[in-house]
A and B are shown apart, each in its own frame.
Chain A
Amino acid sequence: NAGVTQTPKFRVLKTGQSMTLLCAQDMNHEYMYWYRQDPGMGLRLIHYSVGEGTTAKGEVPDGYNVSRLKKQNFLLGLESAAPSQTSVYFCASSPASVGTQYFGPGTRLLVL
């Protein structure tokens, strides 16, 4: 039972490079979320999706883009990485608008 998976687990980027983080869930959940976790800051919402083909901004969306072309996948893109985007990124999914969110294992990103 995979649940929520994230690819890659760890990545090092140089400033200005681009990359895409992939989140996949096999629970048929409608809602998906991207958070970032920084020391002493808790988790902050970047973007979220309430269904296939929809996306919305969260608390800290600048510098990121997302796409939800398939219900089971939610992609987070960094077009031009900056050192301030060094963080641990978590994806989550939820079955309903007030359902419990289940998290992936996280992606550690280091931008030099």
Chain B
Amino acid sequence: AQKVTQAQTEISVVEKEDVTLDCVYETRDTTYYLFWYKQPPSGELVFLIRRNSFDEQNEISGRYSWNFQKSTSSFNFTITASQVVDSAVYFCALSEVSGYSTLTFGKGTMLLVSP
């Protein structure tokens, strides 16, 4: 069975600090997809990134970057120069190709960025 672990329940940083959110996953499939979603205090779920298991290139989007390492089954998310607006709960999720793309979510990491 697939599983996603976000060991960090809550992280507090001061604005402009860099912060990395960890995500470790378990799956028996060789083909799968990994996702990150953001849930700001307003409650909606915002899609951030989708990565397939064959693409291990790191990705950068503005202040956001993602480090996918198959060898350690990790898909970590780094925010550079954090801002107060980054305060949110961040969820990592896994979808196996064989499972009708149902998502298995981690329990989330709450990030609090203070001014």
> Which of A's residues lie within 8 Å of B, judged by CB?
31, 33, 40-45, 48, 50, 56, 58, 88, 90, 92, 94, 96-103, 105-106
Contact = CB atoms under 8 A, between A and B. Distances in A.
A106 B45 CA distance: 9
B95 interface: yes
A96 B101 contact: yes
B102 interface: yes
Contacts of B101: 31, 94, 96-99, 101
Interface string B63-107: 000000000000000000000000000010001010011111111
Contacts of A92: 45, 103
B100 A56 contact: yes
Contacts, number: 57
Interface residues of B, number: 22
A105 B33 CA distance: 23
Contact of A58 (B52, B95, B102): B102
Given A31-B100, A101-B101, A42 B43 contact: no
- Report, nearest first, the 7 A-B pairs whose CB atoms are least far apart: A103-B45, A42-B105, A42-B107, A43-B105, A98-B101, A97-B101, A100-B50
